[in-house]
Amino acid sequence: MSFDLILFGGTGDLVWRKIMPALFQAFRHGSLPPGGRIVGVARDDLSGDQYRALIKTRFDQVELAKRPSEEEFSRFAALLDYLRMDLSNPEDYAQLATRLQQRPAEVVVMYVATAPSLFTTVCEQIAAAGLNGPQTRVVLEKPLGHDLASNRTINKTVRSVLQEDQIFRIDHYLGKPSVQNLFALRFGNSLFEPLWRRETIANIQITIAEDLGVEKRGAFYDSTGALRDMVQNHALQLLCAIGMEPPINSHADAIRDEKLKVLRSLKAWTPETLSQHVVRGQYAAGNIDGEAVPGYRDEKGVDPDSTTETFVALRTEIANWRWAGVPFYIRTGKRLAGRDAHIEVNFRPAPHAIFKSPLVESNVGNRLVINLQPKDGLELHLLAQGSHQRHDRGTPTLVPVQLDLDFDKRFGVERVGAYERLLLDVIAGRLNLFVRSDEQEEAWRWVEPILDSWSSQPAGPRPYAAGTWGPSAASAMIARDGYCWSEEC
C-alpha cells in the first residue's frame, strides 16, 4: 500500500521524540508498508537534505536500542522529505497539494502535531486545497480544546470537512501493549470477567506518576494543567477500559459505544463531592534522586504566581448495575516520588476468615496490578501459607505471595511501542484505538465542573514537596473510605 504521511509540526518536539522513532521502528521491523513517503512540514527554511540531517542528529537523543545504524538510517532517510509551509497561508497548502499530486498515494495521512489552536486552521485549509478526499486521514493530538465549548468547536469544524471515519483522535495510552493486554485479560479469558464486578471488587486505583517536572514545556503546561493534560484523556480512557461492558465484537464502534456508556455513567459532581473527592496540588522545591529541584513556579515559562495544578487526585463511581458503590480513585502528577503508571484492582476479603493474616484484617490482600510503565505486565497478589508455618492459637497464618508476568521478558523483541502501533493503525484505517468525538465531549462534560469549581476558589492548589507522592489531602481522601494508596498500605 503506497502512503504519504504529512507531519505538520515536522521539526517539533513530538515529531523527533516520539513519531520519528516509532516510524523508524516500524521500518526496522518491516511492518511499515512499502511505497511510503514521510514529509515533514514546518516554517523552518530547510532543504530536504537539511531536514534529513536534522532528524539524524535527533536520533542521537533517543534511547540506544531505538537508534539506527548508519546503514539503517540511510535506507530510512530515503523515505523522508520536507516542505516549508506557513500553516496560515492558503498558497502553501496549494504547494503541498502539488507535491502530493506528483506521486499519488493510496492513503494520505495528515498528522497535525501542532499547537491545538492551529487544528481548525489546518483542517479548513486542507479542505480548501482539495486534500480532504476519501483517501485522506487526519490525526489530531491532544489536548483537543481547553474546555467543552472549545472541544465542540474543533469537532464541529473537523467534521464539516471530513467524515468521522477519517478522523483519528490519538491517545497514545491506548496504544500501550499493557493497555492492549487489559482488553485481552478481560475479554479474551474467562478467568477474571465473572469477578469483574461490585460483589468481588472493593476499589480500583489508577496512578499515572511522573518524577520529571515540566521540562521545556512550562509555557504550554501552565495554560493546561494536570486535569486537562492527563485526567480528561489518558486516565478516563483507562477507567473506560476497566469499567466497560464486553463489546459485541472487536469493531471500533462496538468498543467505543461501550466506553461512551461508562463516561455517561460517571457520577455527576455536586458541591459536596467537589470539595471532598477532588484534590489538586502544585509541586514546590524538593529532591529527586538526591538532587535538589526547583518548585513549579520557578520553572522556565511558568507564571511566578501560577495557580496551575501539577497534581490531581479524585474519587468517582460508575453508577450502573455492575459497579454501583465501588470507588474508583485516580491520581496523576509531576515531580512525584517515582515514574510509575499502574492500575490496581483490589478485591474484597474472603467473606468468612478461617485463617489469620494482618493483610486480611487490614482489608489488603488479593489484588491485581496492571503495570503500564516503566514496568509492563501483570501482578496477581495472593495469600498463602509459608514454608515455616506460624500459628496463632491453632489458626494458620497466611503470608503474601505474588504471580508476576513481565511482558517485556515474555515477548521481548515482539513488542510494538504505542506510537508505532497507532501510526500503523492510521495507515491501515483501523479506528479501534482512537477516540470518537462523542467520547471526547462526554469526558470534557464530566471534568468541566471541576474546572469551574477551581476557578472560583481563591486558595489555589495545595503545595507538595517534589519527590513525594503529592499533598497529604490525597491520602486523607482515600482513607475516609478505609483504603490507602499502594505505597502506603
CA distance 224 to 233: 13
Q: Which residue has the cell 477516540?
A: 435
In the residue annotation, 29 being an active-site residue is answered as no
The active-site residue out of 146, 172, 234, 352 is 234
* Burial class of 213 by CB neighbour count within 10 A (0 to 12, 13 to 18, 19+): buried
What phi and psi values does residue 399 have, to the nearest 5 degrees?
A: -125, 155
H or E stretch at 438: helix 437-455
Q: 119-128 and 90-101 are packed helices; what angle lies between their axes, rounded to 10 degrees?
A: 60
Which residue shows C-alpha cell 502530493?
A: 100
Phi, psi (degrees; rounded to nearest 5) at 328: -110, 125
Give the angle 450-368-366 at the CA atoms, nearest 5°.
110
In this structure, are residues 136 and 126 in contact, taking their beta carbons and an 8 Å threshold? Answer: yes
Whether residue 143 has a cis bond before it, omega within 30° of 0: yes
CB 285 within 8 A of CB 292: yes
Identify the bridge partners of residue 402 per DSSP, sorted by sequence position. Answer: 381
Contact yes or no for 173/183 (Cβ under 8 A): no
Q: What residues are labeled active site?
A: 234
